[in-house]
Amino acid sequence: MPAGRSRYRYALSMLETWLFWGLAAAAIVAALAVVVQRRAARAVVALAALLVVVGGLYLLVAAPMAALVQIALYAGLLLVIVLPAVMILDPNPEPEAPVEMASSAGARRFGVVGVIILLVQMAWAFRQVRGVALPPLASLPDRGPAAFVHALTGDLAGVVVLIGLLLLVTTIGVTAIVRREGP
- Output the pLDDT for position 1: 47
pTM check: above 0.85 = no
pLDDT digits (tens, 9 = 90+) for 135-147: 565 555 667 777 7
Which is more confident, 1 or 52? 52
- CB under 8 Å to 33, separation ≥6 — which residues? 42, 43, 46, 49
Q: Which domain holds residue 162?
A: 141-182
Q: Do 16 and 86 have their domain in common? A: yes
Which is more confident, 5 or 156? 156
pLDDT digits (tens, 9 = 90+) for 90-121: 666 666 556 555 556 666 777 788 788 878 87
Report if residue 109 sits inside a domain: no
Q: For residues 51 and 74, is the Cβ–Cβ distance under 8 A?
A: yes
Which is more confident, 24 or 86? 24
Give the rounded percent of residues in the chain with a pLDDT score beyond 70.
Answer: 66
Element (H, E) at 157: helix 157-181
Q: Which of 27, 62, 90 is a domain's end point? A: 90
- Give the integer Cα–Cα distance in Å for 173 and 107: 40
Report if residue 35 sits inside a domain: yes
Here the CATH number for the domain that contains residue 71 is 1.20.120.1200
Q: State the total domains in the chain.
A: 2
Q: Which of 25, 59, 90 is a domain's end point? A: 90
Average pLDDT for the chain: 75
Residue 173 C-alpha from the chain's centroid:
25
Q: Do 86 and 145 have their domain in common? A: no
DSSP string, 99-116: P--TTSHHHHHHHHHHHH
- Confidence class for position 7, pLDDT limits 50, 70, 90: low
Report if residue 113 sits inside a domain: no
Of 13-27, 39-53, 61-75, 153-167, least confident by mean pLDDT is 153-167
Q: Which of 31, 66, 90 is a domain's end point? A: 90
User: Is it the case that residue 33 has pLDDT exceeding 80?
Assistant: yes
**Torsion-angle region of residue 144: left (phi > 0), alpha (psi -120 to 50) or beta?**
left
Q: Do 155 and 86 have their domain in common? A: no
The most confident of the ranges 17-26, 38-47, 96-105 is 17-26
| Cα–Cα distances in angstroms (integers) from residue 12 to residues 5, 44, 74, in the given order | 11, 34, 29
**Torsion-angle region of residue 46: left (phi > 0), alpha (psi -120 to 50) or beta?**
alpha
Report if residue 131 sits inside a domain: no
Report if residue 74 sits inside a domain: yes
